[in-house]
């Protein structure tokens, strides 16, 4: 959530930043309601002050010996009753205005950072670096991961569709074992890097999705339970960030690093016809998520380290990838700056996203009311939150099945995974 004070004091700058994003956002209704609310607040404060004054005067007169039924006292009491009636009308109006402003603020995305490239679509994203060109396969006849997976008997789509519907997949035998191995490997690497593993709920309430920015804007992307205020998580970012919702943390306990493996559930609304085959775009997929709670002065440095933590997995698996800085028009709703890691998929001859690492600064913390307090200082500040995939497990498996595919139809197992999986080849 954006700070209403920031919007009030810098309306032109805020509007320009919002205009650099995709979509249309207008802050004028917010500014108009804010003016009305502040004018009403001034009026209410003045009336309340007069009410307090009347109470004080009446008390003094009675204390001095004037009869409580004296006409002067009665006139003051009548004025006081009139004021209370006015206050009873003004207070709900002010409350309603504040609620309306809050709802409009919830619909505004985060502002792109100064270092975020300006652009309208993914075509204007900026490549930062590449790694692992020497590991790009020279074999020209590489099958797509879903075809080699079916040939190896480790992946089945038809039975998954029978059980559920399209955009679901079943892994069998070595396929299921490889996915489990990848999860264990990713968690091991990240816990060794200083992240504390958590296993959070897979169902979250509306307040949790609102805090991290999925609601109200992206309700159609999530699966909601019919009879409860519960939603299936689209990413572990949601429950892990909300572990600290409404809390004031001690500054000396920052930074806090968490990693979590969870299944993730997304409707993929609007993506029909895209990536209908394979492991790239499913309704249910596994992911290891990285979440940070940090001091505001360090958050952009923490973003660079977060990207490095995700890169460490790809480098250990010797999978070619590139790092891309997303332009303002391609940013996620809650992000101020995002780097995507895109892994090389030889069957399609292009890089595909495998991790998205974002700094949300105080945007999520303001919605979730997560603050910190420094010893010896008055007041509190909002923490900065960051999140990133470390990594998307299915997409990592897809990259392995293609990049490690051999001309004879076998698939080598990356050396880093062999001790976990107990085999060298599929």
- 192 against 77, higher pLDDT: 192
The pTM score is 0.92
- Report the distance separating Cα 316 and Cα 186, nearest Å: 10
53 band by pLDDT with thresholds 50, 70 and 90: confident
Q: pLDDT band for position 272 (50/70/90)?
A: low
Residue 266 falls in the annotated catalytic set: yes
Q: Are strands 337-345 and 203-204 parallel, antiparallel or unpaired?
A: unpaired
Query: What was the pLDDT predicted at 87?
Result: 86
**Catalytic residue (choose from 21, 328, 395, 402):** 395
Per cent of the chain over pLDDT 90 is 85
Domains present along the chain, CATH in parentheses: 4-106 (1.10.287.40), 122-421 (3.30.930.10)
Q: How confident is the model at residue 168 (pLDDT cuts 50, 70, 90)?
A: very high
pLDDT value at position 213?
A: 97
Q: From CA 316, how far away is CA 135, in angstroms rounded? A: 12
**CA-derived radius of gyration, the chain:** 28
pLDDT score of 417 more than 80: yes
Q: What pLDDT shows up at residue 110? A: 98
- The question of whether 356 is a catalytic residue gets the answer yes
What pLDDT digit, counting tens, does each position of 375-394 carry? 999 999 999 999 999 999 99
- Does the pLDDT at position 370 exceed 70? yes
Asked whether the predicted pLDDT for residue 371 surpasses 70, the reply is yes
C-alpha 262/C-alpha 210 separation (Å) is 20
- Length, in residues, of the chain: 426
Which one of the listed residues 94, 147, 353, 374 is annotated catalytic?
Answer: 353
Contact 178, 207 (CB under 8 A): no
Please check the confidence at residue 156 and state whether its pLDDT lies above 80. Answer: yes
Among candidate residues 266, 366, 367, 371, the one labeled active-site is: 266
User: Residue 270's pLDDT band (boundaries 50, 70, 90)?
Assistant: low
CA distance 39 to 212: 32
Which of 356, 358, 371, 402 is labelled catalytic?
356
Q: Exactly one of 50, 281, 322, 352 is catalytic; name it.
A: 281
Q: Catalytic annotation on 305? A: no
pLDDT of residue 269: 67
- Please tell me the distance from the alpha carbon of residue 112 to that of residue 315, in angstroms, as a whole number: 29
Contacts of 211 (CB under 8 A, 6+ apart): 241, 242, 245, 364, 367, 368
Mean pLDDT of all residues in 136-156:
94
Say what the pLDDT of residue 273 is.
Answer: 62
The whole-number pLDDT of residue 139 equals: 84
- What backbone torsions phi and psi does residue 275 show, to the nearest 5 degrees? 50, 50
CB-based contact 223:346 (threshold 8 Å) = no
- Under DSSP, is residue 393 helix (H, G, I), strand (E, B) or coil? helix
Cβ distance 279 to 146 under 8 Å? yes
pLDDT tens figures, 75-133: 887 888 888 888 888 999 999 999 999 999 999 999 999 999 999 999 999 999 999 99
Which of 53-67, 89-103, 273-287, 299-313 has maximum average pLDDT? Answer: 299-313
Q: In the prediction, which pLDDT does 61 show?
A: 79
Residue where the block lists tokens 């409860």: 228
Strand boundaries in 88-211, DSSP class E: 126-131, 155-156, 170-171, 196-197, 203-204
The mean-pLDDT minimum among 37-46, 204-213, 309-318 falls in 37-46
Q: Give me the mean pLDDT over the 159-171 stretch.
A: 95
For the record, the structure tokens of 3 come out as 């700070």
Q: Taking every pair of C-alpha atoms in the chain, what is the biggest distance, in angstroms?
A: 108
Cβ proximity of 83 and 50 under 8 Å:
yes
pLDDT given at position 78: 83
């Amino acid at each position: 959530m954006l700070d209403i004070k920031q919007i009030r004091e810098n309306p032109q700058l805020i509007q320009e930043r919002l205009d650099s994003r995709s979509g249309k956002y207008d802050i004028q209704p917010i500014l108009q309601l804010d003016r009305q609310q502040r004018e009403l607040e001034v009026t209410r404060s003045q009336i309340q002050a007069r009410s307090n004054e009347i109470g004080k005067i009446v008390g003094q007169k009675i204390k001095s010996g004037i009869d409580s039924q004296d006409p002067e006292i009665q006139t003051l009491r009548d004025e006081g009753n009139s004021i209370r009636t006015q206050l009873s009308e003004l207070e709900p109006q002010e409350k309603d205005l504040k609620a309306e402003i809050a709802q409009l603020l919830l619909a505004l995305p985060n502002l792109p950072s100064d270092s975020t490239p300006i652009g309208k679509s993914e075509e204007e994203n900026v490549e930062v670096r590449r790694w692992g060109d020497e590991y790009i396969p020279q074999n020209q006849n590489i099958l797509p991961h879903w075809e080699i997976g079916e040939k190896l008997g480790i992946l089945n789509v038809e039975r998954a569709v029978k059980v559920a519907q399209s955009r679901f997949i079943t892994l069998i035998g070595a396929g299921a074992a490889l996915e489990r191995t990848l999860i264990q490997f990713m968690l091991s690497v990240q816990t060794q890097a200083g992240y504390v593993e958590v296993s959070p709920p897979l169902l979250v309430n509306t307040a949790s999705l609102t805090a991290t920015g999925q609601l109200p804007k992206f309700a159609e992307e999530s699966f909601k339970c019919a009879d409860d205020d519960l939603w299936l998580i689209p990413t572990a970012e949601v429950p892990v960030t909300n572990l600290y919702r409404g809390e004031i943390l001690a500054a000396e306990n920052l930074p806090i690093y968490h990693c979590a493996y969870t299944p993730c559930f997304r409707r993929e609304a609007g993506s029909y016809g895209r990536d209908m085959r394979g492991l790239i775009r499913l309704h249910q997929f596994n992911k290891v998520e990285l979440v940070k709670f940090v001091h505001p002065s360090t958050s952009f440095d923490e973003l660079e380290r977060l990207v490095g933590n995700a890169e460490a997995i790809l480098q250990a698996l010797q999978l070619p990838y590139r790092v891309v800085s997303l332009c303002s028009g391609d940013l996620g709703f809650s992000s101020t700056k995002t780097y995507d890691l895109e892994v090389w998929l030889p069957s399609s001859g292009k890089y595909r996203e495998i991790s998205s690492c974002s700094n949300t600064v105080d945007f999520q913390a303001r919605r979730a009311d997560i603050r910190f307090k420094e010893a010896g200082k008055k007041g509190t500040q909002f923490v900065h939150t960051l999140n990133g995939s470390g990594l998307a497990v299915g997409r990592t498996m897809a990259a392995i099945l293609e990049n490690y595919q051999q001309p004879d139809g076998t698939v080598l197992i990356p050396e880093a995974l062999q001790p976990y999986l107990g085999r060298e080849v599929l």
